[in-house]
Amino acid sequence: MKKLILLISILFISIEITYGQQVTIGTQIWSNTNLDVTTYRDGTPIPQVTDPTQWANLTTGAWCYYNNNPANNAIYGKLYNWYAVAGIYDAASAANPSLRKQLAPQGWYVPSDAEWSTLINYLDPNANGGETIPNIAGGKMKSTGTIQAGTGFWQEPNTAATNESGFTGLPAGYRVSGGSFGTIFDYGNWWSSSETNTSDAWNRYLNYNGGTAGRNNTNKANGSSVRCLKDISLSNISLVSGSGNKSTLYPGWTMNNGNYDYPMTTTDGINYTISNIFLTGATNQIGGISADYWVKFRQDNNWTTNWGSTAFPSGVGTQGGANINVTIPGNYSVSLNIQTGAYTFTLLTPAPSISIIGANIGTAWNTDVTLSQTDGYLYYLPAYNLPAGQLKFRQNNSWLTNWGGTTFPTGDGIPNGSNILASPAGVYDINFFKGPTGASYNFSTTLGIDDQNIKTIKIYPNPASTHINIDFNNETDLNGGTIKFINSLGQEVFTRPITLSGTQTSMQLNTWGGTGMYFVQIINPQGQVMYIKKIIIQ
């Protein structure tokens, strides 16, 4: 399994705003209760300040209950000064904005003045972002009912309140910069993240005796409620594969830092999807050839933000989580919610079967012998007693898709080509590669029992980039043999003799070939293929 190094520590919190619910209004998603947190996003405490003189002198973030009464918290939430909204928690962060914290929970943020205007203009196109008074946006934002009637939390008459937007605005009042409190039940006030000067910032308000949504330039030391917007920015999210899955095999995959990303699409910045993508299986064993395959989700084509899990076909990904192993190769639709980490792989069609059929196999030209596979590209049939004669490969036991060839024991699979003449008869490991741009096959003579120690040959690193090392494990009888590189289409691309002066040899790769998948064949002096290893060059 490929090991991943998380470049920075990120806490992925599966959270839908803990202090309330959410509502979609136009193109925005708003929280519909007031913020009620006592720490910044990273867990840094926000101090509760009750003393009015201390509150008046603050230049860093703080919160309080209205009238310092915890009973007001359950309905109205907390009041924050603007310094908390800005994430200013000490003198250094006051001087340097790059040091500031985030007040809103993961996946949310405090809206700017312009984003408040977007909301108000959606509810009343003539509101001019709250500059035009009166307007009808406020009535659509206020919760309904009155305290006197026992049906709500506003003072009578709660004019024009319909709450048709679902914003559910509440009259939490405010704390003035001098530290006193006022207007609970009469006004609701909410900060924006936008400051106007060193002492003031923009604030929005609703009131009990009108249907207007208004806008104020307010002292930063005041205490107001906070509402949050969900972050639906269109992040660059991709389904990423390890270097076992190469772009040369899987069209559409883009190489980024040694890994391969397939871009996902979104309409809301939260739910990302891919439709009808072919995914290989978790591992494959092909006559001694092995490779690991895995997928994960990541942002911006790097590992800073990524999601993984051990669950398949559905689960909840966590930051820096495990590689996701696709256990069934085939075409999938894939979805990911970046807020919750929930993902689903929906199998549309499994990988096709591949078989051999021939004149001397079972009932002539009527018996399919199915090859095994775990990744949908490489198929294998180990130690098969193959009679001499003509044969072909075909898909799903049907002649609609079949491959022939003009050479044996290796060659290119030619669609609807001539029969492959297998000769001589023998026990063979049969390998078939079905790629998007072509097919190839290989019939390797099965090793005798006295030759099994040959399989202790090691080829590394894999994947490789500039060179590979081959450790022959003292197999001196291979001296005078050949090392061959066969590409994914079955074509011989490089050959060199085996000349051992020790147990190892090293080969440079960047002088002859491109990136992709290759078979390395170790052939003894008698011309027998003694060992095959699949390697990836990147």
Q: pLDDT (tens digit, 9 = 90+) per residue, 402-451?
A: 999 999 988 889 999 999 999 999 888 898 888 766 788 888 875 433 33
For residue 465, the model assigns a pLDDT of: 77
User: Are the C-beta atoms of 253 and 243 separated by less than 8 Å?
Assistant: no
In this model, does residue 506 exceed pLDDT 90? no
As a dihedral over the C-alpha atoms of residue 333, residue 278, residue 296, residue 298, rounded to 10 degrees, the angle is: -80
Confidence of residue 462 (pLDDT cuts 50, 70, 90): confident
Q: Which of 6-20, 221-235, 519-533 has the lowest mean pLDDT?
A: 6-20
User: Are the C-beta atoms of 386 and 425 separated by less than 8 Å?
Assistant: yes
Distance CA 320, CA 318 (A): 6
Which tens digit of pLDDT belongs to each residue from 311-369?
A: 999 999 998 898 888 888 888 899 999 878 999 999 998 889 999 999 999 999 999 99
Q: Which of 274-278, 317-321, 374-378, 519-523 has the lowest mean pLDDT?
A: 374-378
Distance CA 478, CA 239 (A): 43
Distance CA 54, CA 292 (A): 61
In this model, does residue 234 exceed pLDDT 80? no
pTM (global) more than 0.75:
no
Residue 468's DSSP bridge partners are 507
Question: What are the φ/ψ torsions at residue 19 (nearest 5 degrees)?
Answer: -95, 5
Confidence of residue 259 (pLDDT cuts 50, 70, 90): low
In this model, does residue 125 exceed pLDDT 70? yes
In this model, does residue 287 exceed pLDDT 60? no
Distance CA 196, CA 198 (A): 7
Is the peptide bond between 463 and the residue preceding it cis, with omega within 30 degrees of 0? yes
For residue 269, the model assigns a pLDDT of: 76
- Measured distance between the N- and C-terminal CA atoms of the chain, rounded to whole angstroms: 18
Among 34, 46, 31, residue whose Cα is nearest residue 78:
34
Among 416, 479, 415, 478, residue whose Cα is nearest residue 451:
478
Q: Looking at residues 148-168, what average pLDDT do you find? A: 96
Question: What are the φ/ψ torsions at residue 85 (nearest 5 degrees)?
Answer: -60, -40
For residue 403, the model assigns a pLDDT of: 96
Q: Which of 109-113, 236-240, 288-292 has the lowest mean pLDDT?
A: 288-292
Q: Other CB atoms closer than 10 Å to residue 152's CB: what's the count?
A: 20
Non-local (6+) Cβ contacts of 206 within 8 A are 138, 141, 142, 169, 171, 187, 188, 212, 213, 214
Q: Looking at residues 468-475, what average pLDDT do you find? A: 79
